[in-house]
């Protein structure tokens, strides 16, 4: 009987739609965690000339491509609308024009095919990804580092998050992108900056050549700050001879930048781990299994950052979980997975649910001046 029930549950299919930034994506995920399809269309080329995401261009591009991607996701999964159990779409936070496109498409499909609709918080998509990829249990500590957000949270359950820290100014991905731009690298800066850092021939010399600040290091609270780091990059660039930076200048500065980011994250995460163990003492019942630190969001693709966090968790005797690269950046599968989790809990939304440009995961977290939408 139990098996029969399990196989029935595992057959539930959810369509996930993601349009909150510059990736248009549609995916079909089964409730046992199998990703049947996950089509992601990056709008990189459309925004490249502007050096960043242009909201109106993004919304228009989502509109142009989303229907085709949804059809492609269904075909890739070899299913049709009537095989679905629910439709999940990102309803915030993000660029409101794009969010509206995905949300309205999701609602239209739900309405036409009489399916439940699930309004997904984009950040929850990132935070629950390790439950899709690694089947991990709650609670766990999450470092969410993307283009729009930098937060450290305790995930207690679906929809239950405690924010331990947030950025007080720029998000880490934004700091990567802006620093890369200062170095003359194209958008998106993060991956380009990482490639240049890999070209650095003498790391120690690079760090001596380009000393950089480490804002918030050693502070009691678990918050982050990155705008001073970006300013320091600008000051270094301005002191170099005018004209294009040489490849060695860029490689050295990129290396020094990446190492500094690693040190900041190590310090801030070490502080958050202490806080996590205060909430969930190592002597408590859940200590039978190692505690877990998850890194997610686009910046989690960075190899040096992964290595730093891996080392930190080893010292803290924690497990370290970093989703595969294609599931770190924005994608529909993570949205469909939140749909799976919420469907199982019966947490459905009406078609009158509104898009939310701002949607904090922890509504009780203290407001931080300057963090704004990033908190
Ligand atoms: O999560 P995401 O795909 O979109 C947002 O919700 O923001 O994150 C995109 C961000 C961009 O700032 C991008 O530069 C950064 O993630 N990123 C990286 C790397 N790959 C992407 N940053 C550093 N190193 C990387 N390898
Ligand atoms: Zn994201």
298 Cβ inside 6 Å of ligand 1 = yes
Q: How far apart are CA 37 and CA 34, in angstroms?
A: 9
Per-residue CA distances from 88 to 77, 101, 269 (Å):
16, 13, 32
For ligand 1, is residue 148 a contact (CB within 6 Å)? Answer: yes
The protein residue with its alpha carbon nearest to ligand 1, atom 16, reads 298
Highest mean pLDDT among 267-271, 322-326, 361-365: 267-271
Distance in angstroms (rounded) separating the CA atoms of residues 279 and 67? 45
Q: Which of 44, 92, 176 to mutate to test the pocket of ligand 1 (most atoms within 8 A of CB)?
A: 176
Taking the centre of ligand 1 as the mean of its atom positions, its distance from the CA of residue 266, in whole angstroms, is: 19
Q: For the CA atoms of 151, 155, 157, 159, what is the dihedral angle to 10 degrees? A: -10
Closest to 167 in 3D by CA, of 194, 191, 143: 143
Average pLDDT for 137-152: 94
In this predicted structure, what is the pLDDT of residue 84?
98
Give the span between the Cα atoms of 22 and 187, in whole angstroms: 12
Mean local confidence (pLDDT), 64-76: 93
Q: How far apart are the CA of 2 and the centre of ligand 1, in A?
A: 42
In the structure, what pLDDT confidence band is assigned to residue 266 with cuts at 50, 70 and 90? very high
Pairing of strands 86-92, 117-121: parallel
Residue 46 has pLDDT above 70, yes or no: no
Per-residue pLDDT at 2: 42
Q: 329 CB less than 6 Å from ligand 1?
A: yes
In three-state secondary structure terms, 368 is coil
Ligand nearest to the CA of 257: 1
From the CA of 262, the nearest ligand is: 1
Residue 250: which pLDDT band, with cuts at 50, 70 and 90? very high
**Phi/psi at 278 (5° precision):** -75, -40
Ligand nearest to the CA of 23: 1
| pLDDT above 50 for 4 | no
pLDDT for 339: 98
Query: With 80 as the cut, is the pLDDT of residue 287 above it?
Result: no
Instruction: Determine whether the shortest distance from the Cβ of 21 to ligand 1 is under 6 A.
Output: yes
Domains, the chain, in order of start with CATH, read 4-130+327-360 (3.30.420.40), 137-325 (3.30.420.40)
Q: Which two tokens stand for residue 235?
A: 């000051």
Give the number of the atom of ligand 1 that is nearest the alpha carbon of residue 297. Answer: 1
The reply to whether ligand 1 has any atom less than 6 angstroms from the CB of 91 is: no
What is the structure's pLDDT at 21?
Answer: 84
Instruction: With cut-offs at 50, 70 and 90, classify the pLDDT of residue 199.
Output: very high
Q: How far is the CA of 164 from the centre of ligand 2 (A)?
A: 19
Best of 38, 299, 327, 334 to mutate for ligand 1, by most ligand atoms within 8 A of CB?
A: 299
Candidate from 198, 298, 327 with most ligand 1 atoms within 8 A of CB, to mutate = 298
Q: How far apart are CA 38 and CA 10, in angstroms?
A: 18
Q: CA triplet 193, 368, 280: central angle to 5 degrees?
A: 85
Q: Whose CA is nearest to atom 22 of ligand 1?
A: 190
In the reported structure, the alpha carbon of residue 94 is separated from the centroid of ligand 2 by a whole-number distance in angstroms of 9
pTM of the model: 0.91
- Whether 283 has a pLDDT exceeding 70, the answer reads no
331 lines ligand 1 (CB under 6 A): no
User: Which residues, in sequence order, are CB contacts of 367 under 8 Å at separation 6+?
Assistant: 375
């Amino acid at each position: 009987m139990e098996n029969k029930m399990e196989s029935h549950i595992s057959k539930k299919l959810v369509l996930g739609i993601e349009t909150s930034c510059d990736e248009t994506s549609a995916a079909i995920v089964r409730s046992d965690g199998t990703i049947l399809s996950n089509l992601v269309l990056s709008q990189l080329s459309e925004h490249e000339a502007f050096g960043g995401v242009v909201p109106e261009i993004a919304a228009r591009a989502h509109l142009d491509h989303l229907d085709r991607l949804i059809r492609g996701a269904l075909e890739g999964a070899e299913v049709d609308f009537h095989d679905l159990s629910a439709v999940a779409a990102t309803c915030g936070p993000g660029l409101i024009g794009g969010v509206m496109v995905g949300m309205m498409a999701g609602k239209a499909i739900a309405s036409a095919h009489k399916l439940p609709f699930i309004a997904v918080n984009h950040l929850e998509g990132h935070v629950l990804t390790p439950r899709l990829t690694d089947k991990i249990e709650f609670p766990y500590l999450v470092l969410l580092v993307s283009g729009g957000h930098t937060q450290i949270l305790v995930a207690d359950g679906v929809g239950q998050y405690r924010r331990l820290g947030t950025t007080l100014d720029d998000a880490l991905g934004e700091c990567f992108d802006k620093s890369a731009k200062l170095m003359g690298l194209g958008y998106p800066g993060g991956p380009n900056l990482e490639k240049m850092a890999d070209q650095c021939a003498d790391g120690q010399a690079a760090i001596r050549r380009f000393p950089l600040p480490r804002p918030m290091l050693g502070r009691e609270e678990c918050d982050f700050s990155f705008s001073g780091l970006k300013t320091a990059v600008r000051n270094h660039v301005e002191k170099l001879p005018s004209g294009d930076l040489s490849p060695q200048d860029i490689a050295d500065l990129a290396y020094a930048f990446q190492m500094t980011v690693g040190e900041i994250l190590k310090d801030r995460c070490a502080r958050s781990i202490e806080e996590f163990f205060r909430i969930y003492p190592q002597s408590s019942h859940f200590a039978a299994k190692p505690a877990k630190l998850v890194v997610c969001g686009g910046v989690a693709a960075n190899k040096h950052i992964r290595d730093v966090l891996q080392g930190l968790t080893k010292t803290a005797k924690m497990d370290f979980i970093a989703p595969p690269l294609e599931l770190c950046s924005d994608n529909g599968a993570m949205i469909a997975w939140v749909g799976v989790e919420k469907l199982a809990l019966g947490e459905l939304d009406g078609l009158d649910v509104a898009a939310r440009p701002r949607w904090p995961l922890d509504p009780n977290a203290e407001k931080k001046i300057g963090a704004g939408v990033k908190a």
